[in-house]
Amino acid sequence: MLRDGARTGGPRHPLHAEFARQRIELANNVWRPGVAAPQSFDDTVISLAIQPAGPRHLRFVLIVVVVLCLAFIALLPFQHTQLPEFNAIEPSVAAVMSINDLITSVLLYAQCSIVPSRRFLVLATGYLFTALIIIPHALTFPGAFTVTGLIGAGPQTSPWLFFAAHFVFPATLLCYALLRGTDDESPLPPSWALSGIYGSIAIVVFSVGGLTLLSTAGHEYLPTIVSDRTHAIPAHLTIINVSIIALTVISLAALWTRRRTVLDYWLTLISIALILEEACFSLAVLRFSVGFYAGRVFWLFTSIVVLLLLLLEITKLYARLARSYTLLERERNNKLLNIQATAASIAHEVRQPLTAIVASGGAALHYLEKTPPDHEKIRKSLRRMISESERTSKVFDGIRALFGRVDQRREAVDVNEIIRDVLKSVEGELSDNEIAVSSELNELSDLDGNRTQLQQVMFNLVHNAIEAMQCIAHRRRALRVRTERRVDSAIKIVMEDTGPGIDPTQLDSIFNAFVTTKPAGMGLGLAICRQIIERHGGHLIASSDGSSGAKFEVVLPAGPANGAGRSN
């Protein structure tokens, strides 16, 4: 049977009220099965590999490119201007870049482990190579630590290590762009991601170690790039720089034509910065000139900007994931509450007919034990057991229709007949509790509705009145039920009792889910009653002065229900 404990049986504890309020907020969809969830899980991007770029990313790249080009043009007339020697710039820039590129490679490896991708694996490998190759380059730079450099370096060691990094990085960008089609057609299996990461790290460490050994121990065999500590050979420098610029331009074209994600735009920006850097080195034949220092600044920019942008985008991804996790938890709680509400509703619904079955069975046994047995009363008890069993079956059908999304069977329903059946089925309880019943059932037209659900509402209201009047000791117990047709042809059902009434401050909340003052109550009865009535296009209201009983009014449209719920 449906029950609700909103009667004034004692004050409600503040913590109970707060807990109930929170559960009501979570259970908003429990009482509206046809209403969609308040939020959807549309934040499905969990990796930079699949994060789509938008117009704002393109605008950002264009703005930064314009700023870089303007800076390059502004410095162009001063490229050959010699500035004071500052040997510490090389190890300083190298230290910053090595740390930045190492962090960037770790972040990219992490993204590759989340969403296995050959492109991310190659890109992380390129950044790791740059992070490691910069270290021997700085150690071998003439004048940074010693006049000729550390670890047995020669005059050509540092330049060749520098250009090795500048050859490998645009080649990495080109491979990243060309591998898009391969990743789309044949994604990297997740089982290969970890072995691929370890393999790429091993290759990088071996390559950097080999190049360092070759450029130090075999520096005498390296082609000449610089003639002394400050002067380069223009022809050789131009050939190398033009080759690097050409490779970078090819990488830029491949990235631009295949751009889709946010990272594609950032790497496009890096390619342009690399071209400007190499242009500065081509024009600056002398070390420690404006072009030399400008090239180092552009080089440092290519390292810092990607790290900053990776951290920014990964932070956004983390925020999305945190929000999605919160929504998933809320959805899980809603599903649990749906299950809890359905189970509690079934328990409420079937308790009353089961109680009637047990009572009728006991009565039948009692009449059987008489001498002679009272066959007529036995027959009456058995019929009542059959009737209550059929009603129990209908209760399950009604619950399924209430909480499910199936169409509810509608039929012509006589409200007066439903009220008579309900009062007849509880006449034993009314008699046991010495409750006088008066009914004024005026002639009504049939309405289109679900008979079982409307019967449940009437049972709930009657049993709430019975339970409310059980605590009355020195006052006449009476239940009055009347029906009438309103001017607008709607059907009105009024049910009044002489119980303790309802606290006027609780009248707005007694129809909310999980609000109850009963020690063992669930607070579901009136909430489901209102849901049923609203599904029939009507409304259910309550009124009381808090001391001399309560009155419930049900208003239903006489014609076909439009299904539109109304609120008070």
8 A C-beta contact, residue 527 and residue 509: no
Question: Amino acid identity, residue 290?
Answer: V
What tokens does 389 get?
A: 């069993």
pLDDT of residue 92: 85
Q: Is 412 left (phi over 0), alpha (psi -120 to 50) or beta?
A: beta
pLDDT of residue 348: 64
What is the residue whose two structure tokens read 């059959």? Answer: 386
pLDDT of residue 356: 76
pLDDT of residue 5: 44
8 A C-beta contact, residue 411 and residue 448: yes
290 burial (CB, 10 Å; 0-12 / 13-18 / 19+) is buried
Calpha distance 555→462 (Å, rounded): 16
8 A C-beta contact, residue 501 and residue 514: no
pLDDT of residue 407: 47
Q: 3-state class of 225 per DSSP? A: coil
Calpha distance 359→357 (Å, rounded): 5
pLDDT of residue 206: 95
8 A C-beta contact, residue 211 and residue 288: no
User: pTM, whole model, 2 decimals?
Assistant: 0.54
What count of other Cβ atoms lies within 10 Å of the Cβ of residue 143? 18
DSSP state of 478: E
Calpha distance 307→171 (Å, rounded): 19
pLDDT of residue 507: 77
8 A C-beta contact, residue 472 and residue 500: yes
Calpha distance 36→318 (Å, rounded): 26
> For the chain, which domains are there?
14-38+408-556 (3.30.565.10), 48-68+86-326 (1.20.1070)
pLDDT of residue 467: 83
pLDDT of residue 513: 63
Residues in the chain: 568
What count of other Cβ atoms lies within 10 Å of the Cβ of residue 260? 14
8 A C-beta contact, residue 282 and residue 238: yes
Q: Strands 436-441 and 478-485: what pairing?
A: parallel
Work out the end-to-end distance of the chain between its first and last CA atoms, rounded to an integer number of angstroms: 25
What tokens does 92 get?
A: 């300083």
Please list the residues that pair with 82 across neighbouring strands.
289
Going 11 to 28 to 558 to 401, the CA torsion angle's sign is: negative
Note down pLDDT in tens along the chain; length 568 residues.
344 444 444 433 333 343 344 333 433 433 333 333 333 334 444 566 667 777 888 888 899 889 888 988 988 888 878 788 777 787 888 888 889 889 989 988 888 887 788 888 999 999 999 999 989 988 888 877 887 778 888 888 888 898 898 899 999 999 999 988 787 777 778 778 888 899 999 999 999 999 999 988 888 888 888 877 667 787 888 888 889 999 999 999 999 998 888 888 888 988 998 888 888 877 776 777 887 788 878 878 877 877 887 788 778 777 777 777 777 777 666 666 666 666 666 676 677 677 778 887 888 888 788 878 888 888 887 887 887 777 677 666 656 655 554 445 778 889 999 999 888 888 878 888 888 999 999 888 888 888 888 888 898 888 888 888 887 777 788 999 999 988 778 899 999 998 888 888 887 777 776 555 454 455 567 777 888 888 888 999 888 887 788 899 999 987 654 443 333 3
